[in-house]
Structure 1
Amino acid sequence: MRFLLPMLLVFSALLCLLPGCEPKEDLVTTDNSAKLEFSADTVLFDTVFAQVGTVTKRLWVYNRNARAVKVSEIRLADTNPGTYSLLINGDETRIANDLEIRGKDSLLVLVKAMLGPSATENKPFLVDDRLLFSTNGNEQDVKLVAYGQNAYFHGPEEHISRNTTWPKNRPHVIYGVVVVDAGVTLRIQPGTRIYSHAGSVLFVRGTLRINENTNPSAELTPTDTATFVRFQGDRLESFYADIPGQWVGIQFDSCSSRNNLVRFTEIKNASFGLLIFNRLNGPHPRVTVENTILRNISGEARSFGGGSGGQSFEGAGVFGISGDFDLRNCLFTNCGEYAVRGIGGTYNLNYCTIANYTPIFRRESASLWFTNELADRRAAVPNAVRVTVDNSIIWGFSSQTDDELFFKNGNTYRANLSIRNSILRTKEYSATMDVGDKLGFNNNGNQVGIEVDPKFKSSPARSFGNKFDYRLDTLSPASNKGVFNSAIPRDLLNKTRSVTAPDLGAYERVNP
């Protein structure tokens, strides 16, 4: 008996040397009925900027057969030579030979596209190819399709040193830091699209004028492309459409930037939408913002101005350190830290909608947040904060706060605060009058409501998905509760406001 176990082990080893003991999945079949299957019949690249590489796409090649197959060749048809490149088994190649795929196993092929300029100049163009597979005499293919677009490229250390207009005939792509020099004006035509690479900044030392002479004659649609200038990240795959923090934002220099105007504009995917960093409290830059949407804004703590005494700041739709902002007909939504944050400076909001639900963030701060404290250890004392909110909706939801409004040390600059004819989500300031250091803004009968749901047409609180409409529902308590301002006779989409009883917020109510 003592020799039985060693004999069994030897016998088992000998059996494994026989052909019949080789695992079936390792046996290579030459049957021409053994074909491959693919995770997709077409590898599709969304719009790709000419001369800029795309994100890598994955194609899985499946062997559904019980036995292994040998792929004698994988290659590009090269219908458009030099456009597509492959990565197979870690090697960048255009042709791969004699690749074995075990039974019931798969192979991963990575595909990238690099498009050259098209003769169509300013129009989108299509560049296609085929990825060919030869297996046991079978010829199979997967289509490769990329939609290309020529673009103007700016950066990475570009200085705009003379008055310049960015035309709308092609997209503009910003890489790195693009500086508008002091004394220089950059104008942007209606309908222009600006795509910003990771870490990029448009730094305005001079003047930025967007849509300065645009006066549409008719009401616009939410998807208007002829009028609105749109800033966003340069990752054009649908997955990135609503991802914040893909680029830094637009910064205005505190020393020399003046007379800035941002109209009919959408700014999204940034860490900061519009930023004034005036740490030394010099002359205040002023930015007028009209008919503008700031969405999907969030950023990690960041330092500005060549260092700020160790102080860093989180993202915000509008962020001012001793800067002045006039905000009219503006929508703020999905701002992960702040919609508007002011450390000193003047902030005038009229007919604005703050709909800051932030469903993908754990937001712990109020959407509107102000203080008169020092910006950092080296800062001068900021001017007292001045805040005016008229005909607006300050709303949103965060599981971490019951307030979308906060004034730090507000009692020390109470005389500079005015909130009228607005809906507010706040418990901190829900009293009808000030009591000691506790401020109350539900006073003089001029508030439409504290903690009164404005009832948007659709929002994360009322519907599913990620496409929301912050115009007012037909039963909204914000309807017909505003005070007409002749300087702002139309809403964000250029719809005429009621002279006798306009609606609150950025949108005049849609008719039932």
Structure 2
Amino acid sequence: MRFLFPLFLLLSSLVVVLPGCEPKEDLLTTDSSAKLEFAEDTVKFDTVFTSVGTVSKRLWVYNRNVRAVRVSEISLQNRPGVTYSLLVNGDATLTARNVEIRGKDSVLVLVRATIDPTPADLKPFLVVDDLKFLTNGNEQVVKVLSYGQNAYFHNREEIRRNTIWKADKPHVIYDYAFVDSAITLTIEPGTRIYSHAGAALLVGGKLLCNATFQPAGELKPTDRNVVRFQGDRREAAYQETPGQWGGIWFLSSSRDNVVRYTDIKNSAFGLLVLNPRVLRPFPSVTVENSIIQNISSAKQAFTNAGVQVALDGAALLALSGNFTARNVLMANCEQYAVEGLLGSSLQLDYCTIANYSTLTNRLTPSVILASTLKINNQVKTAAPSLTMRNAIVWGSMREGEELEFVDGEQYAGNISISNSVLKTKKYDNTGALGQRKNGNILNPTEGPGYLFKSTPLRFRGKALDFQLDTLSPASNKALPLPGLTRDLLNRPRNPTTPDIGAYERVNP
């Protein structure tokens, strides 16, 4: 019994002391290094909204710190197209404030999305919002992705079996769609492909885009059988804005690609062959009866398997690749229209390059060849080649120079240009690189105002039309080419004296 009294005192002391010793997980930290972790980096509403509807998704938010944190604000921007609301700890709200998460604990955030009840053809295909968490001065963001129309969605999709993209619904690319090597992606006539900001179609195998379609007669610019690639922004302000998505990229393993009767617009690159290891055989792409326009990209760094290279935007860009282009219009590119690098082979027949800058004063020529390129900070060398027949190379360069052959003296024998209209001062001669020969027409005095029906320099505010003007110096100056008896719009060419460029002039 003599030990009971001291034990009673000890227990009494503990009772007094314990309430003042809070567990660490309840103590609040204000340290700026105390950040949150999330179960997902993107909240995806996979349900396709074809009418008014509401869908909810869960997001677990973790506090991995020993001590508790106070999230001062959880909020969404609520961009047009979808209305969001939050449910945090059972409380419905638009913006949650001062949410405490105990140490080594978590909280469930429920995100609810309600589609805007606008007609389907006015809804955006994708609505991307930012779910923001502000903790101890740190802002962390989880993307919220919602679909606003009935479409096929390709979100980081890897295509590993032969696949057909049908034309019954639009296709939307988010981030990328990748065609594996030895796999063929076939795109049906009339298919519409919309890509989100920065998204690209990556082809490691083969792309057959509208490869078998043949119009019965003259093709109208709005023909429903033309395949069309563009960005996913539907607003009028974005209809002709360059650089909205990445473009179509053909990788080192890609072979025998065909792109026909296709419009590609508003991207960073039109068609890009990316073979920085200079692996042979080179990837090859045949482009026919197509339009590539509104292309723009500041220099971008590409890193793949330890190989890094930086490239500017272009309608056709071949890095150790081969392009064959027939009846193709390339217009309004902010950097280059055609770029052949490091051993690439380019053949351009009946092509029109009408390169008028819409955003900036362009400082780059429309067509450029270069035999050297810095890859991984080392200079590689391989001579490119260019064959151009019955083509137009024109644009808005102030210095009047739309051609550039970098170190061209070293591969002058690889350049053959004939029966073409060229805007160039540098090569306005008969030397090894000079182009005043072979039936070429250089710097015609009529100027750009008479070359095409409508250009930004001639008719401001009018719809652009790069068909030939009635007084165009390109009329009846081409040399007939076997097998190329029709123009971009499938109109018959004059069998003896066809017109230069993608369009055969139609007499009124």
Same fold, judged at TM 0.5 (above):
yes
Structure 2 match to 1:443: 437
* Partner in structure 2 of residue 199 of structure 1: 198
- Taking the TM superposition and a 5 Å limit, the aligned residue runs for 1:320-339 are 320-339=318-337
Count of paired positions: 384
Q: Which amino acid in 1 is paired with 2:151?
A: A
Q: Does structure 2 retain, via aligned residues, the 8 Å contact 1:420–1:447?
A: yes
Structure 1 match to 2:298: 300
SS at match of 2:279: coil
Q: Which amino acid aligns with 2:278?
A: N
Which amino acid in 2 is paired with 1:263? R
> TM-score w.r.t. structure 1 length?
0.70
Could you tell me how far 1:449 is from its partner in structure 2? 3.3
Structure 1 residue identity aligned to 2:276? R
Q: Is the 8 A contact 2:197 2:245 kept in 1?
A: yes
Structure 2 unpaired stretches of 5+:
1-46, 52-80, 86-91, 96-112, 125-147
Alignment of 1:73-472 (within 5 A): 85=83, 114=115, 149-155=149-155, 157-224=156-223, 226-254=224-252, 256-283=253-280, 284-306=282-304, 311-344=309-342, 345-377=344-376, 381-399=380-398, 401-434=399-432, 439-444=433-438, 446-452=439-445, 453=447, 455-465=451-461, 467-472=463-468
Within 1, Cα distance between the matches of 2:431 and 2:83?
68
Task: Quote how far apart the aligned CAs of 1:305 are.
Answer: 3.7
CA distance in 2, matches of 1:199, 1:357: 23
User: Does residue 502 of structure 2 align to residue 503 of structure 1?
Assistant: no
SS at match of 1:175: strand
SS in 2 for 1:461: coil
**In 2, distance between residues paired with 1:495 and 1:233?**
30
User: 1:300-357: per-residue Cα shift (whole Å, max 9, x none)?
Assistant: 2112242776641111111111100001111111100000111121000000000001
Distance 1:150 1:303, change over 3 A: same
Partner of 2:304: helix, strand, or coil?
Answer: coil
Moved more, 377-386 or 178-187: 377-386
Deviations 1:348-404 (A, max 9, x none): 0000000001132221110001110134246684431110110011001123x3211
- Normalising by structure 2, we get a TM-score of 0.71
Q: Deviations over 1:212-245 (max 9, x none)?
A: 1111110011222x22100000001000011111
Q: Distance in 2 between matches of 1:468 and 1:51?
A: 36
> Could you say what secondary structure the match of 1:312 adopts?
strand
SS at match of 1:303: strand
- Which AA in structure 2 matches 1:223? T
Q: What is the alpha-carbon distance in structure 2 between the residues aligned to residue 308 and residue 329 of structure 1?
A: 37
Is there any run of 5+ residues in structure 1 with no aligned partner, and where?
1-48, 54-82, 95-111, 128-147
1:477 aligned partner? 473
- After TM superposition, give the deviation of residue 510 of structure 1 in Å: 2.4
Among the aligned pairs, what percent are the same residue?
45
- Aligned partners of 1:174 and 1:196 also within 8 Å: yes
How big is the alpha-carbon RMSD for the aligned residues of Structure 1 and Structure 2?
A: 3.0
Aligned positions of 1:37-52 closer than 5 A: 51=49
Distance 1:364 1:173, change over 3 A: same
Secondary structure of 1:292 counterpart: strand
Cα drift, residue 50 of structure 1: 5.0
- The residue number in structure 2 matching 1:12 is none
Asked whether the equivalents of residues 210 and 263 of structure 1 are also in contact (C-alpha less than 8 Å), the reply is: yes
Alpha-carbon separation, structure 2, partners of 1:210 and 1:240: 25
